[in-house]
């Protein structure tokens, strides 16, 4: 699998660290970049394109779904997943409507690897 770039957007240091560790544990050469807020994620996404993005829902300021249209416009071909503790039906439904993969926390290695493997060629 070619080297990929991943953007991990979450206000939780634990989540960012876990996702990074899981991905780099299996793909050490992949470039995993962390953003601790929606605003930082947008600023980073304006500078470069990522192959995968994991997006938290509840963050200070804007939610993950708030910034999703902007992220999608900047990265039309990227694989984006909402990675969230907020597992209410309306969030899942909104994710489906916007065609974002929904991954419920807690994070497991299986969930993350399944997500990044989903476009494996």
Give 28 or 106: the residue with its C-beta nearer to other proteins: 106
Let me know the angle formed at the C-alpha of 74 by 69 and 80, rounded to the nearest 5 degrees.
65
Q: CA separation (Å) from 38 to 33, 52, 57, 59?
A: 14, 16, 9, 7
- Per CB under 8 A, 88 contacts other proteins: yes
Residues 25-64, interacting with other proteins (CB under 8 A)? 58-60
Does residue 21 touch other proteins according to CB under 8 A?
A: yes
- Closest by alpha carbon to 86, among 67, 72, 70, 65? 65
In angstroms, what is the minimal distance from the CB of 33 to other proteins? Answer: 17
111 binds other proteins per the rule CB under 8 A:
no
**Smallest separation (angstroms) from other proteins to the CB of 57:** 9
Q: Tell me if 45 sits within 8 A of 91, measured CB to CB.
A: no
Please report, as ranges, the residues that interact with other proteins according to CB under 8 A.
11-15, 17-18, 21-22, 58-60, 84-91, 105-107
């Amino acid at each position: 699998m070619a080297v990929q770039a991943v953007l991990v957007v979450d206000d939780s240091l634990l989540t960012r660290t876990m996702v990074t560790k899981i991905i780099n544990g299996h793909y050490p050469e992949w470039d995993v970049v962390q953003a601790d807020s929606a605003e930082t994620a947008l600023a980073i996404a304006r500078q470069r394109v990522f192959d995968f993005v994991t997006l938290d829902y509840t963050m200070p300021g804007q939610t993950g779904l708030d910034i999703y249209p902007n992220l999608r416009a900047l990265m039309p071909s990227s694989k984006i997943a909402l990675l969230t503790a907020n597992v209410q039906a309306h969030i899942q439904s909104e994710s489906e409507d916007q065609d974002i993969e929904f991954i419920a926390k807690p994070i497991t290695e299986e969930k993350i690897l399944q997500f990044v493997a989903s476009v494996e060629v």
